[in-house]
Amino acid sequence: MMAANIAPPDHTVNTVINGLCKTGQVSKTQDKLNDFITKGFVPTAITYNSIIDGFVKEGEIDSALSAYREMCEKGISPNVITYTS
């Protein structure tokens, strides 16, 4: 899908992002997310919740807050999961 410039489905992207976060590779999520966005993917609260949670678990609070701000700037509404990450 990526080679054909077709955005993968939400659940696929969210699984990749969540997997990076769960395996201590949260620093790679922004580049990977940008790759998906270039292909037409539109991030959701679920996408950002994984990233925010990953940064918090790594102790990178400033990065988590930055991801939260980016989420809000893109017009994505935070939800209960966002606030409990």
Classify residue 69: in a domain, yes or no: yes
Classify residue 81: in a domain, yes or no: yes
The total of structural domains in the chain comes to 1
Classify residue 32: in a domain, yes or no: no
Element (H, E) at 12: helix 10-22
pLDDT at res. 6:
82
At 43-76, the pLDDT tens digits run 999 999 999 999 999 999 999 999 999 999 999 9
Angstrom distance (rounded) from CA 32 to CA 43: 12
3-state DSSP call for residue 45?
helix
Classify residue 27: in a domain, yes or no: no
Angstrom distance (rounded) from CA 71 to CA 24: 21
Classify residue 52: in a domain, yes or no: yes
Arithmetic mean of pLDDT, 20-25: 94
Angle between helices 29-38 and 45-57 (to 10 degrees): 160
Range of the domain at 73: 44-85
Confidence (pTM): 0.88
Classify residue 21: in a domain, yes or no: no
Classify residue 61: in a domain, yes or no: yes
